[in-house]
Every structure is written in C-alpha cells, then in structure tokens.
Amino acid sequence: MARRVDITKKFQTKYTLNWKKIKNTKEASSFLSSLATFILYVRFKKLEADNTPLEELLKCINAIMKALDVAKEEWISEGSSLYIAIHNDFNLLLGKLPLSLNLQEKHIINLKQIKTENKTIPVTLLYSEGPIASIS
C-alpha cells in the first residue's frame, strides 16, 4: 500500500493481492485515505521500534508524507496532533542522515585555464508537422 500511494499519490478502494490497481476501481474516500495514512504511520512506528535500516524508514515516511496530501479528515489534517507527530518524526529521521550522503565535495574549475577549441558536432534534425490524415 505504501508503494501504491508513493507512486500514484492516491488510494484506491480495491487492489489485487499483489497491490496492483483493479480496473474501474474508485478512488478511496477521504475517510479511507486518512485511515490508510494512519495505518502507514503505525507501521512506520513499528518499523522504527524494530530498528529497521534508515533507508527503509525513509521510504516509509516518504509514502506517509505523500499520503498526507490526500488525507483530508480533520483528525489528520494540518495542525492536528497526529499531523504534527508525523512531521516531527520526519524531521528526526532527516536529522539521522549522515552528512556524507547529503553533501558532495565541490570542485571549483577555473574556465579561463581550459583550452577552448571549436569543434564540429554532427547533428541530424528530424522534422515533422504531425501525422498525415486522409479524409474519405
């Protein structure tokens, strides 16, 4: 379910056993979307308590953050205690990221020292005005 909301940014009312969307399925109601978001958050807290690797926790909290966009019930909307708790956990998780993953050493290149040469690059341009239609 987390992967589905992470990709589609919405919940459906029905899925197959391997979490694929079923054709002609309706989008979940606001209440069901909010409930699913809460279930994802409970799962995240369980994974966190089980010392799940940081990468998995980040994937999970990312799906929860996307699910919050479709969760419209008052008890999980912006400003609610649950919404604040989710954002606090998100910020705590970001604080655990090692700096080496976030920052790459930057090299400054002096462009004046680089020799410039004019080079010819062969380019093929394809142009089309669109499909040719015939009227019978």
Per-residue pLDDT tens digits for 7-49:
667 777 776 777 677 787 787 888 888 898 899 999 999 999 9
What is the distance between the alpha carbons of residues 9 and 91, in angstroms, rounded to a whole number? 21
Instruction: Give per-residue burial for 85-105: e unless 16+ CB within 10 Å, then b.
Output: ebeebbeebeeeeeeeeeeee
pLDDT category of residue 69 using cuts at 50, 70 and 90: confident
What is the distance between the alpha carbons of residues 59 and 36, in angstroms, rounded to a whole number? 16
The residues that bridge with 23 in the sheet, in sequence order, are: none
Per residue in 96-136, pLDDT (tens digit) is: 887 654 444 555 566 566 666 777 888 887 766 666 655 65
- Domain ranges (residues) in the chain: 2-100
Work out the percent of the chain whose per-residue pLDDT is above 90: 20
DSSP state letters, 36-52: HHHHHHHHHHHHHHTT-
